[in-house]
Amino acid sequence: MPNATAVINLDIEGPTISRHLYGHFAEHLGRCVYGGFWVGEDSPIPNEGGIRLDVVQALRALNIPNLRWPGGCFADEYHWKDGIGPHDQRPGMVNTHWGDVEENNHFGTHEFMALCELLGAEPYISGNVGSGTVQEMSEWVEYLTREGDSPMVRLRKANGRDEPWRVRFWGIGNETWGCGGNMRAEYSADLARQYATYCRDHGDNKLYRIASGASDDDYRWTETLMRQISCFGCEATPKNFFQGLSVHYYTMAGPWEAKGSATDFDTEDYYRTMVAARKIDTILAGHSTVMDIYDRGRTVGLVLDEWGTWWDVEPGTNPGFLFQQNSLRDALVAATHFDIFHQHAARLYMANIAQTVNVLQAMLLTDGDALVLTPTYHVFEMNKGHQDATSLAVHLRGDGIRRTVGDTELQTLSASASVKDGTLLISLSNLDAEEPAEVTLDLRGRSVGEPTARILTADRLQDHNTPGAPDAVSPRPFDDLKTTDRGLALTLPPHSFVTVRAPIR
Ligand code: AHR
């Protein structure tokens, strides 16, 4: 049986884990917004102003810190003025990216801001660069955040909202290298400077402007962006133009043309998935290194505002709706991503899972009035204590915690730790499909009190939750935890995720 030791120095504190690493994403795509978040006021499904209350209740338990909207690719064909005012007077449009279906614009700015208020989440608005104008984006910022009297303030008041909202996170385009305009990095960098200039801070509302960044390991894109926004020795430091730079990375078991099924996969597919998932470490390190060249003070945050698994759509569903099941494998992908995010906390400021409801690696799947919490949901819930906690480095050593997958080595034990308000939280994943792993938690520097633990696992990696079996994969108390003279010892079952909490004395 693999045998490992995780050394954690409880008295050597690392950077703070931004709570925004647990961010979310809602795009006008398939049934994420319509049918997911929003059912309309006349729906028999309990709602507040059209927003589904079961979805709100489930997400509130995750303390979701921010919600990105309206896309994704959709953001670059979205014109915000079509989504304000009385519903029956809002013009429709065609959602050309996702299913080629008609969008009635009933869920717009006011509905999104109401949703954020219900969730207790900060809004993250993704502005249209691909098919919009500087003026359109500038006016959206004014509409949302300005107080007093101005043309956009009067329009907002006419639509029933007197007070401005607080909006911090503002995306300047999305995937400008692809669906957001098929631009070159050089051109995209110029546009980012131009748009950022006119996205004003109104009053004391300070924007955190996020430029559209690279895909995967396209470090050249990041280098171009950082170089073109840098101005050594003059006032226009990167921080003045924008405060964050995005990157997107999705996990698949195969190539883009054959991503694989969400539930019909074998052990080899599983290991390939885990190798792809853990590649996020290399990707974050690569972009961070490039950013360090131009921004040694780390004033610009790296923002992974799309991540997660991307499988073939469920058979019989609209291919443009990106609806997929979510199994224990997805949960382990999320768990190991979070460990890696925590290790990159010094540069990584935000991450947004794609997407929150009914699309890609969702937290929640709805079917009419039924709602299912996915295995991924439970990882977010079990890990929420890491939000805004102080990271603690975990040094892993041991036998049998590596496995050869193709021409790569997969580390099958994944871990991270943090401390907040005197409570230690350790997350541990055994990514091995078949073997349990004995782990000693060698806790140094301070002593800990009585620990408690929870486990997320199932008989099969393919297991998932459905309306008929909503708790097939759900957390349970984990008692196999021994206190030793070194700290704690436990045996992680194959394909399992465990969180351990203990007071630090
Ligand atoms: O999340 C689905 C899509 O993936 C987004 O719209 C786009 O930004 C990315 O390519």
Task: Give the residue from 323, 350, 366 where a domain finishes.
Answer: 366
Question: Ligand 1 within 6 A of 312 CB?
Answer: no
Task: Give the residue from 321, 350, 366 where a domain finishes.
Answer: 366
CATH at 457: 2.60.40.1180
Residue 442 falls inside a structural domain: yes
Sheet strands (E) in 43-167: 47-48, 51-52, 66-69, 93-95, 101-103, 122-127
Task: Give the residue from 366, 401, 426 where a domain finishes.
Answer: 366
Are 315 and 411 contained in the same domain? no
The yes-or-no answer on residue 306 being catalytic is: yes
| Residue of the CA atom closest to atom 3 of ligand 1 | 72
- Position 230 scores a pLDDT of 67
Distance 41 CA to ligand 1 centre (A): 28
Residue 375 falls inside a structural domain: no
- Position 198 scores a pLDDT of 95
218 or 399: whose pLDDT is higher? 218
- For residue 194, whether the previous peptide bond is cis, meaning omega lies within 30 degrees of 0, is no
Residue 257 falls inside a structural domain: yes
- Position 400 scores a pLDDT of 81
- Position 237 scores a pLDDT of 54
Query: Stretch 23-27: mean pLDDT, rounded?
Result: 98
| pLDDT one-digit tens code per residue, 175-188 | 999 999 999 999 99
Block residue for tokens 């969400």: 262
Distance 257 CA to ligand 1 centre (A): 16
Question: Ligand 1 within 6 A of 71 CB?
Answer: yes
147 pLDDT higher than 80: yes
Are 398 and 256 contained in the same domain? no
Are 258 and 127 contained in the same domain? yes
Instruction: Kindly name the residue from 306, 409, 438, 450 that is annotated as catalytic.
Output: 306
Residue 165 falls inside a structural domain: yes
Query: Stretch 293-305: mean pLDDT, rounded?
Result: 93
Distance 73 CA to ligand 1 centre (A): 6
Question: What confidence tier does 228 reach under pLDDT thresholds 50, 70, 90?
Answer: confident
Distance 116 CA to ligand 1 centre (A): 21
| pLDDT one-digit tens code per residue, 437-482 | 999 999 999 999 999 999 999 999 999 999 999 999 999 999 999 9
| pLDDT one-digit tens code per residue, 349-366 | 999 999 999 999 999 999
Are 243 and 131 contained in the same domain? yes
Sheet strands (E) in 217-311: 244-251, 301-309
Angle 267-294/328-343 helices, nearest 10 degrees?
Answer: 20
Are 283 and 425 contained in the same domain? no
Percent of the chain with pLDDT over 70: 98
Are 416 and 458 contained in the same domain? yes
Q: Which two tokens stand for residue 167?
A: 């909006």
Give the ligand 1 atom nearest the CA of 175.
8
Are 333 and 420 contained in the same domain? no
Residue in 126, 175, 357 to alter for ligand 1 test, most ligand atoms within 8 A of Cβ:
175
Distance 440 CA to ligand 1 centre (A): 40
| Residue of the CA atom closest to atom 9 of ligand 1 | 72
Are 400 and 357 contained in the same domain? no
Are 345 and 400 contained in the same domain? no
| pLDDT one-digit tens code per residue, 128-137 | 999 999 999 9
- Position 342 scores a pLDDT of 98
- Position 200 scores a pLDDT of 95
Can you name the residues that pair with 8 across neighbouring β-strands?
394, 443
Instruction: Kindly name the residue from 27, 122, 175, 223 that is annotated as catalytic.
Output: 175
Question: Based on the structure, what is the number of domains in the chain?
Answer: 2
Distance 12 CA to ligand 1 centre (A): 39
Distance 262 CA to ligand 1 centre (A): 18
Residue 172 falls inside a structural domain: yes
Sheet strands (E) in 44-100: 47-48, 51-52, 66-69, 93-95
Residue 185 falls inside a structural domain: yes
Are 323 and 441 contained in the same domain? no
- What does the alpha-carbon distance between residue 262 and residue 382 come to, in Å, rounded to a whole number? 23
Question: What confidence tier does 229 reach under pLDDT thresholds 50, 70, 90?
Answer: confident
Question: Ligand 1 within 6 A of 354 CB?
Answer: yes
Can you name the residues that pair with 416 across neighbouring β-strands?
427
Structural domain including 480 reads 3-10+391-503
- Position 114 scores a pLDDT of 98
- Position 239 scores a pLDDT of 55
Residue in 73, 74, 129, 252 to alter for ligand 1 test, most ligand atoms within 8 A of Cβ:
73
Question: Ligand 1 within 6 A of 381 CB?
Answer: no
Question: Ligand 1 within 6 A of 309 CB?
Answer: no
Are 213 and 335 contained in the same domain? yes
Question: What confidence tier does 1 reach under pLDDT thresholds 50, 70, 90?
Answer: confident
Looking at every residue in the chain, the average pLDDT score rounds to 96
Burial 296-316 (b: 16+ CB within 10 A, else e): eeeebbbbbbbbbbbbbbeee
Give the ligand 1 atom nearest the CA of 354.
1
| pLDDT one-digit tens code per residue, 233-266 | 444 555 568 899 999 999 999 999 999 999 999 9
CATH at 275: 3.20.20.80
Can you name the residues that pair with 396 across neighbouring β-strands?
6
The yes-or-no answer on residue 147 being catalytic is: no
- Position 242 scores a pLDDT of 86
Residue 376 falls inside a structural domain: no
Are 342 and 474 contained in the same domain? no
Question: Ligand 1 within 6 A of 429 CB?
Answer: no
2 pLDDT higher than 90: no
ipTM here: 0.99
Query: Stretch 68-73: mean pLDDT, rounded?
Result: 98
Residue 294 falls inside a structural domain: yes
